[in-house]
Structure 1
Amino acid sequence: MIRYALLITVLAVSTIACAEERLVLQQALRRLSGEEAFLREKYTPEIIHQLDNTSYTKKTYKNLLKRRYESINEARKIITERLRHLPPESERDSVEQKVVYLDPGHGGSDPGAAIIDPAKKDNDTTAYLITENTVNLAIARLVKRNLENCGIMVILSRDSEQTTLSLDTRSALCRAINPDIAVSIHLNSSEFAFPIFDQPDTALPELNYTRVYVWGPSERDLLYPMYWYIHERLQNSHAYEESVKLADMISRALKAELDVDFVLSSELEQKLASVKQRRTALWKEKNPSTPVAPPEEEPKIPAEIIQRNRDASRQYEESIAPYKGISGKDLHMARETLDVPAVLVEAVFLSCPDEQNRLLYEDRTECIADGITRGILNYFENNSKQ
């Protein structure tokens, strides 16, 4: 009787969870339609022509909006397909769970950072020992399991190693789902971990730290199409402020879980400086007559625009200055989520041999997932107290 009652309880919880996920996805389809209608009304062909004629960069509204409409259509197909695999609809008019959007970076034709298996032939570039794509997805699945065990709904951007998704589609899915938070999961890699010209002193393979990113546009970035609109929108919401809080919680949890610092030690900083100096000298020695292309002529930008963008960029820098584990960068998944608090995690460096061994032969994937999970739970717990 107890076992039967437990089964009924599990089935009931599962039914509620599926019903809430169905509702979230149905709402997502409506948001996609709403976003498309808003963009078409706001950016008419005449407005697009006017904006692009007065642009200070080569990036255009025309191309940006073309990609945006394509990504909306792709997101619509993905959500419709996921709805098709959910159980039949049941009565549910509100979502009571927290919703987290997890985006395992790369996938499909894009392996991300990859380490070639030394046992394979030198010219066999598909013989990877380990790829970021695979590890990112494994981490995301573990975080999903952990959070769902805590009663949190988790929606993945992809749940297959074979799935190739553009950044525009990933962000379109996020905006449509409108989760409480969004976390993109990545592993870092450094060109300085690998030698050039077969010279060992041009590499620092032990380079390794953990870092979480929020949007941090430079003054030039803010000249790009829609960037100033995104900046103004963030000023009128708490999304960026919440992104910083979330990044801080996750970075601190990862540091504790992985025993990896936020920054390089002073010794490694000195070694890295030496490696960079050696690489520069060696490159000049091997390529003494490499022609330097003349700089492209920059458009004349009004002084008030330059100052406006400089002040805005400094504002982002100052907001994260107190947090050692956070960096600001113009990353798509930290920018295009708009009103959703969003961060991008670079847990460790895949280019570090020690991390490769831990990921292959130890429980490093679980540790990374536990750190991200703990950071997310700490964020929700902290917000519930406010």
Structure 2
Amino acid sequence: MAIMIHRRVIPFAAFLLWAVVAPGVVAAATVVEDVRTWDGPTHTRVVFDLSGSPDHRLFTLDDPARAVIDLRAGRIDPALVEGIRDAGPIQRVRTGRREDGIRVVLDLERTLEAQAFTMSPDETRGHRLVVDLGKAGEKPPLRTAERESTEPFVVAIDAGHGGKDPGAIGAAGTHEKDIVLAVARKLADRVNAVSGLEAVLVRDGDYYVGLRDRTRKAREAGADLFVSLHADAFHDRSVRGSSVFVLSRNGASSEMARMLARRENKAHRIGGVSLSDKDKQVASVLVDLSRAHTVEESLDVADVLLTELDGLGEVHGNNVEQAGFAVLKSLDMPSVLVELAFISNPAEERRLKSSSYQHQLALGLTEGVRSYVATTRPTLALGDSTKEYRVRRGDTLSAIAERHSVSIGALRRVNELGGDTIVAGRTLRIP
């Protein structure tokens, strides 16, 4: 029978059922505070946020396929799992009450290997019970609390174009390849400043890298996320704003996305590498069969990045776009393409050339990555990349922001300022 807790008072007798651990021994209940799922390329993960250290047991059953978690002296509001439907191989999640606690049942579409481990509280989260389900007949990757908390999340940063391929060229002669490399380097610095994150630059100089070689280099670096940076262009110079794209399985989501995909994919011929080799159709079939999960994950991170870019300035369109970019055809990692702004717009071209604005873009993208990682890798403790500055007499918020290459809005947010008034002697956090 499902547990109906919600906000009503639990009868005293029922409370004793929850709390009894052994005859004569009463312990505080371990409350399940939240349940989160993540469906990845190699395994599906379920994370239980708990009020205390769990005493648990995990096992699997067949006919029908199920994974069962018993939590001794546990309590849960069934509403936490009611919305979990079709999360990877998990068809639904049910809860039930036992004499010594609760039972959580994951109804599966097929029999899977399962393993569980616990995580102790850190700076951002409390106790956690993590359940991993293997996929495609494989065991889930063996992870321990120590390994999970120390392995960095690797971000491959791809500065588009380069070398003989300048990319788009602004009205003042600014080359896209130079702008995106400058932002990529600043983004790498920001990412590396966060404990738990690690940046890998696909291109760290003015040279050309073939589209397939870009994702290959990311794979060789063990990247968990691929971010390709570009600067947009259009014949109408009044068009402006940032955009975030992910791979589309069924064509582009707008005419702008179609035009942009054609322009970017032509760069593959400049490097002397063709997508039309004899294995193209075989590769396309494999991509169609294997990339669905990475498209969904890519949409998740793209949504977060677009929100951060919207906080820095205007975005082009209200949603994440989808297009057939060759550089995003990676089978084993979420991948996004960020158009930082329209280099064909004279005002945005000037902003893109500004080192201060490049720093702001890098900061916003880093915060987006942090938010995404906090959701998909809940057991990874991320450090704080902020610095501190003591306000001096005569300082203004705008001058401090310019000095540290951050936006005034970012300073207000991290310091919870309602305006621009600051007092000498106060310590500000610099993101």
TM-score scaled by length of structure 2: 0.45
Task: Select the structure of larger CA radius of gyration.
Answer: 2
Higher relative contact order (CA 8 A, sep 6+): 1
More helix by share: 1
TM-score by length of 1: 0.49
